[in-house]
Structure 1
Amino acid sequence: MRLTGAILAMAGVALAGCGGEAKVADGDWRGQMKEVRMAVRGSEDDPMITRRLNGYKTYIGRATGLPVKLFESSDYNGTIQALSSGQVDIATMAGGSYANVDAQIGELAAPILTVRQAEGETGYYSALLVKADSPYRSIQDLKGRTLGYVDFNSTSGYLFPRSVMRDQGIDPDAFFGKSSFAGGHTQAVMALENGQFDATIIQAGGGDPEHGFTTGAHYTMARRGLVDLEDFRIIWTAGPIPNTSVVLRTDRPQPFIDAVRGAMAALPYDDPDTWRDIGQPDGATFTAVTRDHYAKIIQLRAEDIAARRNGARP
C-alpha cells in the first residue's frame, strides 16, 4: 500500500513546495504554543543519532513556523513520561512505549504515522541472540540458562517475545534459570559479549527470518567496529512487530496537529535528503496509523501488568 494524496488531504493543510512549510490560516495557535517540544529516545549505539535528531528538528521547524526543542531521553521511561505529563507535544516511540502512554492518558495521545518499507512491510522483529561459539542452536537449548532483556518498556526486547514464548508453550519466568534487564539494546549486546548472559533478546530489522536481517544493535555496533558480527548467531525470532510511530498530544491546537501530520507524511517526497539523514531507506514512506494498529501491543502490556499485580508473574 503506497502513501497517497489521501493522507495529505486528510491533514487539511496546504504545504509549500520544497520546504514543507505549513500555511495555516489561523496563526493564533503559534502564539499559544510558542515552540514545538519533541521527545526522542537517544541511542548510544547509533553514530547517526545527532544527524537524525537535527533533521527532524529542522524539518518540523520549517513545517510549523516555530522553534523546535528536543528532549532526548536515555531510556524508554523518560520519553514515556515526557509525553504523558504534557512536557512535550510530539514523540517517536515503539508500540510498547505507546501502550504505556495509552494506559496513562488514553485519547490525549495518538499515533498518527509509521514507516512503511519499500517492500510494504511496517514491522520489525525480536531476535534471540547467542554467541556464535556457544552450543545453543534453538530456544529449547536455553532451558535453565541466563537471559538478558532490554528494558521493561521495550517492545522487541521484552514484551512481545515473552508473549510469543508463552504461545509456544514456554513460560519465560520459569524456563530460564535467571533473567535481568540490560538497560538498552547496545548494553544487551555488550553484556552477551562479556559473558554476563547466555543469550539476549534485541531488535532486528531490514529483512525477515527467512532472508536474514540488516539492522539491529549488533549490526550498528559491528559497523562501528565495536563487535564482530561473526561472533553472534540468531537462533529464534518473534514478529513482525508494528514499527515505531509518531505520537502526538491530541490536546494541542488542531492546526498544529494538521501541520505536523501533513508535513511528516510529505517528508519523503518534499525533502528526500532529510529523509535519508534521519535514517530512512530509499523507497520507504510514512503511512497513516491509529490506535488500532497497536491494539495487540496494548493488550499484551495490559495482560502482563495484570498478571504481575495478581502475583502470577515476578
Structure 2
Amino acid sequence: MQKSTWLKLLCVVLFLSGLSACGSDKPDTELTGWQKEVGQLRIGASQGEDSGMTLARWTTYQKYLSRVTGLEVAVFQAPDYNGIIQAMASGQLELAQMGNTAYANAREQMGDKVTPFLASRTAEGFSGYYSALIVRADSPYRTLEDLRGKSLGYVDFNSTSGYLFPRWSLRQQGVDPDTFFSKTAMSGGHTQSVLALANGQFDAVFMFASGGTPETGFTAGSLYTLARRGAVKVSDYRIVWTAGPMPNSPFVIRTDRPQAFQDVTRGAMAALPYESPQLMVELNLLEGSDFQPVTPADYQVGVDMRRAEIAERRAAPAQKSSNGSAKP
C-alpha cells in the first residue's frame, strides 16, 4: 500500500477518534472521551525477546505512540514471556508483541479479549520465521542425527521457535525430543542461547531465523543480531536443521478497551513505516519492511501445537507408570 494511502487512513482514524493532531501534550487531568477512559497506554516487553535491545526498541514505539494517541505511554519489561502473558491477562497491559506460543497461551486464558492485529513483513514479502537448530562450525555435527544423545539448549517454554515449534516438528518426523537429546535446559532468551553455545554450555541450541529461507539463507534472527553488534561471527556457526515457517510474532491488543482507542492504536502502528520510516531503522527492522494485518485464524496452528504439547506432557507420567519406571 502506498505511503499516501496509509497517511490518509491515519488521518481518518484520528479524526474519527476526536483528535485534532497527531499527538497531545495535555496532562491527564485535561484528557477527555476515550483518552480519559484509557488514561495510559501500557506496553509489555519481554527481555527474552532480544536481550539488551528490547528496551531501546520499545522506547521508539513508546515515543511514537505517545505522539499519535496523546496518551502517556509506559513500557513494562518482564524477565520472560510468561510475565507478559500474565500482565496482559490481568489487565495491566493494553499492547504487546508476542510469539505464536505466547499468544496461544494468552488466548487460552483471555479468549477474545486479546487479538493479534499486525505482524512485520520484509521488503521481499517474507512474513514468517523459522526455528533453526545451530551448532558451532568447529564441531563435528552436521545433521540432526549427529546430535542424538547430545545436549540441547531451548529458549523458553513460551517460545515458539525456541521450544514449541521445533518440538512439534520433530515429533512430525518421528523424533521424540524428550529422549533424542541427552539433556536439555532453558537459556532464557534467543541471544542467550547463541552465547551459551559459544561458551560450550550446549552442543546445539534452537534460535529464531528470518529474512530468508533455508534455501536462500537468512539475514535476521538472534545470531545475525549478535553478529551486527560484533559479539559473534555468523561463520562460526552452522545450521543443521530447520522448521518453518511460522507467521511472524503478532502485535496484540486488548479488545475490552474503548473501540476508538483500538482504532487509533491499530492505525498508528500500521502507518508507522510510511508516516515515520526513519523509525524502522531504530526498530532494527530490515530496510523496506512494513506491517501487514493478521487475524486469530493466522495463529490457530500455534494454539493447536500448544494443546498438543500439553497433552504430550500429561501423557508422559502415565506412560512411565505403565512400564514401571514411575509410580502412579
TM-score normalised to the size of structure 2? 0.87
Which of 230, 241, 250 is the matching residue for 1:236?
A: 241
Tell me if the contact between 1:38 and 1:68 (Cα under 8 Å) persists in the aligned partners.
Answer: yes
Listed as ranges, the matches of 1:225-264 within 5 Å are 225-264=230-269
Give me the whole-angstrom Cα distance separating, in 2, the residues matched to 1:306 and 1:4.
49
**Shift in CA distance, 3/117, structure 1 to aligned 2, threshold 3 Å:** farther
Cα distance between partner residues in 2 of 1:3 and 1:305: 44
- Per the alignment, residue 300 of structure 2 pairs with 295
Answer yes or no: is 1:13 the counterpart of 2:10: no
Counterparts in 2 of 1:130 and 1:10: CA distance versus 1, 3 Å: same
Structure 2 unaligned regions, length at least 5: 25-30, 321-328
Q: How does 1:1-314 map to 2 (within 5 A)?
A: 5=5, 13-14=13-14, 20-21=22-23, 27-42=32-47, 48-311=53-316
How many residues align? The count is 309
Residue 310 of structure 1: SS of its match in structure 2?
helix
Equivalent residues of 2:210, 2:219 under 8 A apart: yes
User: Tell me, which stretches of 5 or more residues in structure 1 are unaligned?
Assistant: none
Give CA-to-partner distance per residue, 1:278-304, whole Å, 9 cap, x none.
122232211111110101011000111
Counterpart residue identity of residue 271, structure 1 = S
Determine the C-alpha separation between the residues in 2 that align with 1:139 and 1:196. 18
Change (3 A) 1:43 1:310: closer
Amino acid at match of 1:36: L
AA at the equivalent of 1:85: S
C-alpha separation between the residues in 1 aligned to 2:84 and 2:186?
18
* Alpha-carbon distance between aligned partners in 1 of 2:293 and 2:11, rounded to the nearest angstrom: 10
Q: RCO greater where, 1 or 2, for CA within 8 Å and sep 6 or more?
A: 1
Distance in 2 (alpha carbons) for counterparts of 1:14 and 1:68: 17
TM-score, length-scaled by structure 1: 0.90
- Give the secondary-structure state (helix, strand or coil) at the position aligned to 1:60: helix
Name the amino acid aligned to 2:13: V
Cα pair 2:10 2:268 within 8 Å, conserved:
no
1:96-129 deviations in Å (ceiling 9; x for gaps): 1101100111111000111121111210111101
Q: 64-73 or 35-44, which moves further after superposition?
A: 35-44
Residues of 2 paired with 1:275 and 1:185: CA distance?
A: 21
Alpha-carbon shift at residue 32 of structure 1 (Å):
1.4
Identity score, percent: 48
In 2, Cα distance between the equivalents of 1:114 and 1:70?
A: 19
Residue 95 of structure 1: how far off its partner (Å): 0.8
What is the rounded CA distance, in whole Å, between the counterparts of 1:169 and 1:63 in structure 2? 50
Does the 8 A contact of 2:101 with 2:302 survive in 1? Answer: yes
C-alpha distance after superposition, 1:59-103 (max 9, x if no partner): 111121111011012211111111111101111111111011001
Contact 1:95 1:297 in 2 (8 A): yes
